[in-house]
Amino acid sequence: MAEQKTIHLTKNAYIKLKTELDELEGPLRTQIIEAIATARAHGDLSENAEYHAAKDQQGLQESRVRQIRQMLENAEIVEAEDDGVISPGMVVTIRHDGDTETETYLLGLREEKGGEHDILTPTSPLGAALLGHSAGETVVAQAPAGALKVEVIEVHPA
């Protein structure tokens, strides 16, 4: 079996994932089981759209449970240090080469969405290229559409 890769999560992201897992394995799982039982009671399963929809929902839910469990099992909690160096959990403001507008991102996993910043994952071409850099530096990321050149404007903990 392949070795699992460590996933860097902020404490906030870890708590969000744990809460989602508890909900999926508790009340939501019970609701799906009840929906399947209710649909099954309607008779012939071969043409029972309600039953098939509930089973599909159960499959999606159990897939998400497995995904979250794997993430939590391989998680390393990181606390962003206020040292000006880009790492997971940091808010990064960048400006693309030739542009006057800036963009601000939280460097983290999509599970951290819901805050005031868009998410830039550390495994994306730009996110990976930014790791370890500081304000004032120019970074070049190799993306599928070509090279992205950005200037790091500001870096601070979330």
Tens of pLDDT, residue by residue over 130-153, are 999 999 999 999 988 889 999 999
16 within domain boundaries? yes
110 within domain boundaries? yes
Please tell me the total count of domains within the chain: 2
Domain shared by 72 and 96, yes or no: no
In this prediction the pTM is 0.69
pLDDT in tens, 63-99: 999 999 998 999 888 777 788 899 888 899 999 999 9
85 within domain boundaries? no
- Three-class DSSP category at 53: helix
Domain of residue 117, residue span? 90-157
Alpha-carbon distance 153 to 114, whole Å?
23
Q: End of a domain among 16, 48, 77? A: 77
Average pLDDT of the chain, as a whole number: 89
Q: End of a domain among 47, 77, 107? A: 77
CA distances from 97 to 33, 94, 141 (A): 53, 10, 12
Domain shared by 68 and 107, yes or no: no
**Would you say residue 31 has pLDDT above 50?**
yes
Half-sphere exposure of 158 (CA within 13 A, CB side): 26
2 within domain boundaries? no
1 within domain boundaries? no
82 within domain boundaries? no
95 within domain boundaries? yes
